Structure formats: C-alpha cells, structure tokens
Structure 1
C-alpha cells in the first residue's frame, strides 16, 4: 500500500512538472534544430568531455536590447573568481559600474594609451626573434604576455614585465583560476558546491585566487596612500584605469570600496588580456595561411610607415584600414566568445513569431550569426577581409564579436587599438608562415578550436616566422 502511494505521488509530481513547463515544450517545438535533451541535465551533457567539438541578427538585436540579465548558470561560476565585476555582475550592479568605468574607455583617453601598446609590442617582437628559423611555435605565448603587460600598465599603472618573466605570479594565478572555472562549467558533476569544495582542485583554485587578490589589494592600498600623500600636488592620471575609477566612483571617501576596485581590475585583467590576445592570435594564424592577404597588409604598412622603425602612434591607426578589416574578418570567423546567454524575464516574441517564455535562458549564437549566408553571402565560410571595406553591413547585429546593445563589451575600442598596434609591429618585422608540413588543402579548412575561458585554436596557434629585415 505504501509503495502504491509513493508511486502515485511521483506520477502526480511528474505530471505537474510536465504541465508547469508546457510553454517551454511548446517553444521547443516551434524552434527547429534543437537537440533532444536529458530530463535532468537538459542539453548540458552535450558539453561534457571534448572541448572541441539564434543566428538571425534581428532576433539578436531584440534579445540583446530586451534581456539584460546574463544567464545565471555560467555567471555564478565566473563570479567565484571575479566577484561582481561589471561583465559578470547582476543588472543593478552592472548598470552603475558601467557608468563609473566608462570615462576611461573614451576614444580620446584611449589614444593616450597607444604609446604603451607600442612599447609593449616592440618588446614582444624583439623577444620573438628567438623563434626565427626554429620551426613551429605557439605565438600565443608571446601575444598573451604582451596583452597582459599592456593591460597591467593601463589598469594599475604597473610594469608587470611578464614578457621578460612568463612565470609572473599574477599572470599564472589569473590564468589558473580562469582555466579551472572553464573546466568546472564543462563538468556538471563539479557544479554542486558541496562536491566541488570537497575536492583538491578547490584548494588549488582558492590558493591561486587568494594570491592574485592579495597582490591586487596591495596595489590598491599603495594607490590610496599615494593619492592621500599627493592630493594637492597630483591630478588624476586618466591613462590608468585604477585612478579613473577611484575618482569617477566618488573619490577616496565616497567611491568604490577596495573590494569593488579589485573586482573591476580583475575583470579588466581577464577580459582585456584574453580577448585581445585571442583575436590577435587568430589573425596571425589566418594571415600565415593567406599570403596574398598578408602581403596586402604589409603594403599598407609601408604606405603608412615607409621603411622606418618609428613608433606606432594613435594617428597612424585610423590609416590602417585594411589591417582593421583583416582583424574584423578574423573576429567574424573566430569570435573569442562564440555564444552568450541571457535570461528571459518576461515573454518575448521573436521576429520569427516564436515566443521566448518567462523563465527560459536563450543562447545568442555569435558563431552562427557571423556565418549566416543570408547576411554574409555564399562565401560566408571564407576568409575575405574585403567584405568589411565593401560598405555598411546589412544589419548592425550581424557582426557582434563584442556582444551587442547596452550590455556589450565596454572595452572593445581598447581591444581594437591594442590589436592593431601589436599586429602592425609584428607584421612590419616578420613574415608569418603556416606550420611546417601543412598541406595546401588543410590550410583552407576551418581551424580546429577548443573551449577555454575564450574560444582558442586547438593547436595553440602554431605558426612559423621569417624576419623581413634586420634591425
């Protein structure tokens, strides 16, 4: 009798669960191509193991402008490392922090930082000389330390010198934490805190996180001391992010707390470094595969710089139109963040007529949108930078490597200036070649990719280089 009651209760519970989700099942039936899901994990099991493995711009525009809440499923894991930093923060926190952070990211202000990008990328190409004639190597190792040093200098006003010391503790600590967060997201059995916190990986994660936080907190403490001691002698340095957000958040007494400052610096260190590095590396690999495109870039560089070794300036960068088109085409084919997820808080009717119902999460498929032939043409899968010189795009949301609308990446101009400066110095100095032994037909195929904190090349961005001239 007891078992009958239990089975009856379970049947009633299952029926109610199904009935309460009836609108979700109706939505699934209206959207073609959705995979069958597991009754417990949904489609999460499809992300287990191998990490290699909404495309309509009108729909992307509507969802991006309407659904500002980022999907809690992934955000909560990123917050274990970064807290409520603006990219990952709930809407009520993000909205105010974006206003506070925005003065730093004005074009006028960022142009003052270009000399930092030039100096750090000059160090990068000098160090890269060791790879000339040595065969295949991972260009990632050079680009990521360049972006880390650049971001360090503009975020906290400190020369971190990770290019001279690739084992720099802050670099390795942040890198380790983000890798562990990405790995946890891909392994559903690690999602429950009661499980994760009982494992050795949690202790390792906490060790790296606490070490990074201690270094940043020491930097913040020193900055506050410096401001107090020089309050009548020194104005805010608007080329240093930390100085700007202390001032724009309300000053020493009424502004960001130390924790809030640390969270925003951590966001900049992670997003500003990894996004730029990933974009530059994909661009370098594609240029190694398409020598005719690389040659056209080099001719443009000769037009702007001649045969000189002078520094790249903010005035030079707008003239590098073809280089910018190449970088954008790389971001189109290989966006560092290929999908973003948003939560639907009230029913939303898509242009297709399907209704996203309250309580669902929706993935914006940036990868798919960037390869949608209805907007990019029959050659959408091909690397053709000229498409960004052919005129305006058909829809503003068809190219969204930095997301779209008010919750897009505030640092996209920063990333563009950093990337163009680094690529200009790299290509003035070196000729990029594909890995030795690569067959011609293989070089025309899409690059194998994997999921990390950003999407990256599975082979670590392997290239070869030859020196164009001796300096």
Structure 2
C-alpha cells in the first residue's frame, strides 16, 4: 500500500471517528436539553448548610422576604434537604388541592421523633391507614359540631370564672395579664372535655402551660441535625436534645397520671380518654389502639385546643386595643344585641354578631396561629406551576405571606380592617387558598369548631362587658406586635390591660 493510500485511509478513519463522536455528543446534548429538569427558582446557597443561614428567628418573615425576590414557588436547601416554599394562594391550590394526596405526608423531624414518638399522634402521623383511623376517632368523639355544642356548659362555667377575675380587677382599678388568662381558659376547658377534669392546679401539672409553650417552640425550630447529620452534635451542645427529653418526660408523666386516673375510676365512657380506653379494649373494632398511642392523641387534642385559641384571643385583644374605632364598633354591636343588665352573653346571642365574626376572621388573616402550615413531604415526583418537584422534597406553605399578599387583599393588606370580611363569603375551611388560617386539604386542622366556639363567646363577653385601657410602653406600641418564637406565633410580651366594667 502506497503512502498516499495510507494517508487517505487515516484521513477517512479520522473523518468517520470525528463524525461518530460528534453525533454521540450531539445526541447526549439534545437528550439532556430535552430532559432538562425545570426546578423552581432558588437563591444562592452556601456549601454544606445550603440556605439555613437565611432563616431568622421568625421564619415566616424571612421566607416571605426571600419569596419577594424569587417568586411564590421557591426551592431552598436546608443542608441536604430540598425545601419547597409556597407563598401564593395559586401555588398553594396545586399543593393542597390539585395534588393534595401526593403532598399529604409528613417529614419526621427530631422534635416529632422525641415528642410524638416519631408521629404516633394525629397531627404528625404519616399519611396512611393509621392516620385515617386516628383522625376519625378524634373527630367522631370530640370534634363534630354536635360534640362541640355539647360542651357549651363547660365553656360557660370556665368563662364565667375568668370574668369574675376581670370584675375583681375592675373593682380595684388594677391591671390583668390577659395573656395568662387566655391560655388558662382554653387549657381548663380542654382539660374538662378531653381529660375529664381540670388539671391545671395539680402539683404534677402546675407547669402545664409552660410545657405547652415549650413544645410549640421546639416544633418551630430547625435543628441542624435534621438537615446535616454530620453536624448533629451541635443540637446536643446547644441543649436542643436535652430540652426535647425534658419536655417529653414532663408531658409523659402527666398523660400517665391522666390515663391511670381513668382506669382506676372505671370505664364510664364519660370523656375522650374513657372513649380511647374503651377502643383499646375492644378487639372487634378492626383497629387496635395502643396505650402509648392514646397518650399522644390526648397530647394532640390538649395542645391544639389550648394553643390555637389562646393565640387567637391574645392577638384579637391586641388589635382591638390598637384600633379604638374597631373596638367601639364591636362594642356597639355587642351591647345593642344583648338585653339590658346582661351579666353573661350566651353563644346563641353571638351567632348574629356579624362584626364580631369579621374581627375574628381578620385576626386570623393577619395572625394565623400557625404562620407556616405544618410541613408536608412529597411522596412522588410532580409538576407544580410547570416546575418539576422531586419526591422527598419537604414543603412549607407560608400562610402568613399568602394572607398578606397585596395582589389579593389590596394595598392595605398589612392593616387590621375587619370590614373587608363583611361582604365576603370566604370561610375558615380552606376552600379559598388565599385564606388558610387552619390549612386546607386532607391535613386541614379538624378542630376549627372547637377553637372558634370558645374564641367567639370569649371575645363577646370580654369586649361587651368591659372597656379597656393599656399603658403605653417606652417604645410606644412597637412591643404590641412583637412576636414570640415557635411554630405558633403568640405575643413576645404579655398583654397587660386595665378592665372597666360597664355592666
């Protein structure tokens, strides 16, 4: 073979090789282009910790600030965990309505593991048959409209006891810590309807209200070990692990005491605990309730019945005292509705108080009890608003941001304005995803009626029977809206006010 032929063959081989290589690379490029994953916008993140450094003590506020720059559907990374943040009603509709069953699971955090035995309660249980059965038991035996109505006598007795304290303070021209009263009232009501009697004065439970606050704070934290296992030792050093153990043990001791009291008294089916114990013994109901599970169900009902209502009452009185015109309008409605010389406003009288209901709605819009709806866990890949979201992504719906969206609520979205609800058909049940103070979809809070039933009659009596005065602090009224940390956001400072009886 001549040199020319050899050269031609080498050139031919090179040409074929180059062509094949080009085709292979082009195919891969085209394939990658076609199958490119379209993720939601993400802010720049640091190595190892991701976007954790961008969280503040009030995550609902810092996440909203980020969403203003990156959009209502934003992908963050807390360590190795992808976090989808939802900040608009439109995006929330796809998560909590369109694809609700795919987003119905719960992530298992260190706090849930330590406080709720990994999710053996209703609120944090994984989506499935166990959760459905437990939720059904709670609703049928405690949370139906009929059951809530049957507790009216209990609500009246405990509310009258609180009103006596306010009358005494009025007579002596002294102040009252409304924050303290507002957590004691729902705590005592819930104890009686769920546990059979008040436990707030027991030696075992004298720090009960403090424990509730601690649990809400722990559930609202973002412990580093949940997202970066290699740095889990930090949670031990900063005391997070010890706080979990301490609070868990404190509530466990109380729940043990409650259960044993009911066992010793016999199964009378008189309250929620008795019903749970009867279900535990019944082997023919098709669903076995374990003794430990009962404790966590009780804990759910107690925390839910106490925290949500106390936070709502606290912010309601805060906003009314900051807005004298709204306070007067509500007092005029209440006092014109009831009969002269009325010493207690009954629940049937509250039913027709439209401005009162508008006030409650507006407080829940501005101060939802859970600003960040309890996180969900995506069980399978899905598309939301055209973006690809991978299974295993944790989802945070920022109800606080959604309910302050000026595109929906107008330029005065940050203002307390009950009048916006007077002609509105929007309710609490999560049908309109722009208003979701109790969540929406399968995981909506089942205790709405229990919380609102007590809140409405309490506000009617407290506002209708008394005029109120607060003393301005050194920083004006800035401290009035300062928020505590926790999964629920109550006031950072107690609400101290002077009542003046008008009845």
What TM-score does the superposition give when structure 2 sets the normalisation length? Answer: 0.75
Superposed CA RMSD in Å reads 3.5
Q: CA deviation at 1:386?
A: 1.8
Alignment of 1:3-402 (within 5 A): 26-29=38-41, 34-47=42-55, 54-65=86-97, 66=100, 67-72=102-107, 75-83=109-117, 84-92=120-128, 93-103=130-140, 104-129=142-167, 138-162=177-201, 168-183=206-221, 185=223, 196=235, 202-203=241-242, 205-228=244-267, 234=268, 236-237=269-270, 240-247=271-278, 251=282, 255-340=288-373, 341-350=375-384, 352-393=385-426, 396-402=432-438
Select the residue among 439, 454, 462 that pairs with 1:403. Answer: 439
- Confirm or deny: 8 A CA contact 2:381 2:390 kept in the other structure: yes
**Are residues 166 and 264 of structure 1, via their aligned partners in 2, closer, same or farther at CA, if it must alter by over 3 Å?**
closer
- Confirm or deny: 8 A CA contact 2:345 2:457 kept in the other structure: yes
Q: CA deviation at 1:166?
A: 12
Q: CA deviation at 1:452?
A: 1.5
Higher relative contact order (CA 8 A, sep 6+): 1
Deviations 1:89-114 (A, max 9, x none): 11123222111211121111101112
CA–CA separation in structure 2 for the residues paired with 1:438 and 1:387? 33
CA–CA separation in structure 2 for the residues paired with 1:371 and 1:201? 32
Q: CA deviation at 1:242?
A: 2.0
SS at match of 1:146: helix
Q: CA deviation at 1:59?
A: 2.1
**Are residues 431 and 355 of structure 1, via their aligned partners in 2, closer, same or farther at CA, if it must alter by over 3 Å?**
farther
Alignment of 1:421-432 (within 5 A): 421-432=457-468
SS at match of 1:454: coil
CA–CA separation in structure 2 for the residues paired with 1:217 and 1:110? 26
Choose 202-211 or 278-287, whichever is displaced more.
202-211
Q: CA deviation at 1:291?
A: 1.3
CA–CA separation in structure 1 for the residues paired with 2:208 and 2:449? 25
Larger radius of gyration: 2
SS at match of 2:40: helix
CA–CA separation in structure 1 for the residues paired with 2:382 and 2:471? 48
Report what 2:25 is aligned to: none
CA–CA separation in structure 1 for the residues paired with 2:344 and 2:275? 26
Q: CA deviation at 1:199?
A: 6.8
CA–CA separation in structure 1 for the residues paired with 2:293 and 2:177? 35
Unmatched 5+ stretches in structure 2: 1-31, 63-85
Q: CA deviation at 1:39?
A: 2.8
SS at match of 2:420: helix
Report what 1:12 is aligned to: none
CA–CA separation in structure 2 for the residues paired with 1:134 and 1:310? 19
**Are residues 273 and 58 of structure 1, via their aligned partners in 2, closer, same or farther at CA, if it must alter by over 3 Å?**
same
CA–CA separation in structure 1 for the residues paired with 2:58 and 2:225? 11
Unmatched 5+ stretches in structure 1: 1-18, 229-233
CA–CA separation in structure 2 for the residues paired with 1:204 and 1:345? 31
- Confirm or deny: 8 A CA contact 1:102 1:410 kept in the other structure: yes
CA–CA separation in structure 2 for the residues paired with 1:223 and 1:253? 22
**Are residues 50 and 408 of structure 1, via their aligned partners in 2, closer, same or farther at CA, if it must alter by over 3 Å?**
closer
Deviations 1:315-358 (A, max 9, x none): 233223221210110010111211122222223333x4333233
Q: CA deviation at 1:405?
A: 1.2
- Confirm or deny: 8 A CA contact 2:468 2:499 kept in the other structure: yes
CA–CA separation in structure 2 for the residues paired with 1:457 and 1:200? 24
CA–CA separation in structure 2 for the residues paired with 1:347 and 1:167? 45
CA–CA separation in structure 2 for the residues paired with 1:81 and 1:198? 19
SS at match of 1:143: helix
SS at match of 2:329: helix
- Confirm or deny: 8 A CA contact 2:190 2:302 kept in the other structure: yes
Q: CA deviation at 1:196?
A: 4.0
SS at match of 1:432: strand
Q: How many residues align?
A: 431
CA–CA separation in structure 1 for the residues paired with 2:320 and 2:497? 11
CA–CA separation in structure 2 for the residues paired with 1:46 and 1:134? 47
Q: CA deviation at 1:265?
A: 0.6
Deviations 1:418-467 (A, max 9, x none): 11122122113322334425888x67x9933242231122333x342231
